[in-house]
Amino acid sequence: MAKLPNLPRTKSATEVPKLFREPDVHNGYRIPNQPITYYALSMFQVHNELLNVWTHVIAFSILLYRSLTFISQVDLSDPHAWPLLIFCTSCCMYVFLSSTAHLFQSQSELTHYTCFFMDYIGISLYGFSSGMVHFYYSAEESYIKFIGSGWFFFVVTLCLASFACFANGYPKVKYTRPYPYTRKLWQLGSVGSLYLWIIAPIFHHIIMCKSNSCTDEGIYYHEAQVFWFLIGAVFFALPYPQKIAPGWFDIVGHGHQFFHIFIPICTYSQMQAEYFDLVNRREIIEKYFEPSFMMTFGLTAVLLIVNFIILFWLRIKVVEKIKLKGE
């Protein structure tokens, strides 16, 4: 049986460029500027990104299985199934792009930036598609009447999702490590605004359900998705536990790893909830509107085009930044 090649030992933070260093993580860094196969094979090497990769590889496998299960149970020629298809695809894409980013980001500075720009596109798409299923499948009649127009809700969602992509990428280019907390505020402000907008139909749905003593089986999963998202957000926003004991949580236990665990649990709960809402609230859903091709696939395509324009613009800025640093 062929054996995997022995990979070079990982380095300490002082042995790699500042761009690749994480605050309070002292060891376990892979060597930059190696062949791409080195980073692919590092899936089987102990380093400080290993759990960030594998938590989302496992999440991708679970979410893909659930997606295929749900999609196989609906008629894809039915417009009401289109939001579910887009949502399930985006759920799988964001964890795949995240795991890929953490696996290959150490290859070079340009690769590092490009990988995380793709990661931000995944986050933006996931946020937008979440808003889509929340509005189509979970919104109550009073909420829909309050908003007044599906187009209004989706255009606002598209703008906030695009801004989330930009606001994660631009500060990464603008600032250098060690990043100021201003960069974190860009991230939290943009993603937080998007989340508050898209979760509003869910909060309203939960409140209405509880006040009417409903027995909707999707409510439990909606409550779970909110709970796990908030827990994940705490670990994303705060540099703990590694800040308490720098160097002790280099390989296992730093905050971003917990974030990588809790957010997919949120997504799994959300996926369950939206499928139940599609099945159990079908009569309510059909009463208001039928998803059009433009409001589902069309707006998703617009979002992707805008995000890739942002990516290419930021990538140009990165190339300029690297050239200036070299000079």
| pLDDT one-digit tens code per residue, 17-55 | 999 999 999 999 999 999 999 999 999 999 999 999 999
**What is the value of pTM for the model shown?**
0.95
Write down the pLDDT at residue 2.
52
Tell me the C-alpha distance between 106 and 306, whole Å.
Answer: 27
Domain ranges within the chain, ordered by starting residue: 34-326
Tell me the C-alpha distance between 323 and 327, whole Å.
Answer: 6
DSSP per-residue string spanning 1-27: -PPPPPPPPPEEGGGS-GGG--TT--E
| pLDDT per residue as tens digits for the range 189-207 | 999 999 999 999 999 999 9
Dmax of the chain from CA atoms?
A: 67
Which residues in 13-28 are b (16+ Cβ under 10 Å) and which e? beebeebbbbebbbeb
| pLDDT per residue as tens digits for the range 272-318 | 999 999 999 988 888 888 899 999 999 999 999 999 999 999 999 99
Write down the pLDDT at residue 3.
60
7 Ramachandran zone, left/alpha/beta (phi>0; psi -120 to 50):
beta
| pLDDT per residue as tens digits for the range 240-258 | 999 999 999 999 999 999 9
Strand partners, 29: 11
Q: What is the DSSP letter of 179?
A: P
Residue 290 makes CB contacts below 8 A (sequence gap 6+) with 79, 80
Q: What is the DSSP letter of 28?
A: E
Tell me the C-alpha distance between 197 and 199, whole Å.
Answer: 6
Tell me the C-alpha distance between 22 and 247, whole Å.
Answer: 11
Candidates 296, 310, 319, 288; CA nearest to 144 is 288
Q: Quickly tell me which residue has 């094979």 as its tokens.
A: 41
- Beta carbons of 260 and 98 less than 8 angstroms apart: yes
Q: What is the DSSP letter of 46?
A: -
User: For a pLDDT cut of 70, what percent of the chain falls above it?
Assistant: 98
Residue 235 makes CB contacts below 8 A (sequence gap 6+) with 255, 256, 258, 259, 262
* 34-326 placed in CATH 3.40.50: no
